[in-house]
A and B are shown apart, each in its own frame.
Chain A
Amino acid sequence: AQKITQTQPGMFVQEKEAVTLDCTYDTSDQSYGLFWYKQPSSGEMIFLIYQGSYDEQNATEGRYSLNFQKARKSANLVISASQLGDSAMYFCAMREADGGATNKLIFGTGTLLAVQP
């Protein structure tokens, strides 16, 4: 069965430093997609970054990058130059292999990041 594991329930980081949020996944599918979402205290889920399993380059979006290590089945999110506004819950997700186009995502349990001034 497909599964996403986030082993860090919570993390602290100093403002302006970089931080890595861990995500490992389990799938037997060759084609899959990995996503990261941010959930601030207000509750809305914000899409951050996407990595396809066949993408040769690591995905980057501004201060966010995804450290994709396919052989290790890991898709860690790296946030550079942390800001106070980065304090939030972060979820890793994987597109489920259902053979169709319904695009179901399975989510990890999340990592709560606190950025300290």
Chain B
Amino acid sequence: DVKVTQSSRYLVKRTGEKVFLECVQDMDHENMFWYRQDPGLGLRLIYFSYDVKMKEKGDIPEGYSVSREKKERFSLILESASTNQTSMYLCASSPSGRTYGYTFGSGTRLTVV
């Protein structure tokens, strides 16, 4: 009954590597989001997408990019991973419309060494 799937639960990468975090939803939602979660800081929005090939920066986009080639898939890319990008990454999706909350994936805990 999983509706938002993140490809990896745990990842360990080296500094400078290019990292891809994948997220797939099967609910035909228009909107998809990437957040990072850090202790004491809550969830902060990195990027979001409201349609295929459309993307907008969130509050902390530096060091990240995204790709949405198909409606169901939203990828987060760390062009050159750094230790300060060690974090929990959460993907979410929602339908269009302002009364809907999010459905979240189970998260990817990324460690950059």
Contacts and interface: CB of A to CB of B under 8 A. Distances in A.
| Consensus secondary structure, chain B interface | strand
B98 A43 contact: no
Contacts, number: 67
A6, A52, A101, A108 interface centre (most CB from chain B within 10 Å): A101
Contact of A95 (B45, B58, B92, B98): B98
Interface residues of A, number: 28
Contacts of B33: 104
Interface residues of B, number: 31
A101 B101 contact: no
Interface in B27-66: 31, 33, 35, 40-45, 48, 50, 56, 58
B19 interface: no
Contact of B98 (A91, A103, A107, A109): A103
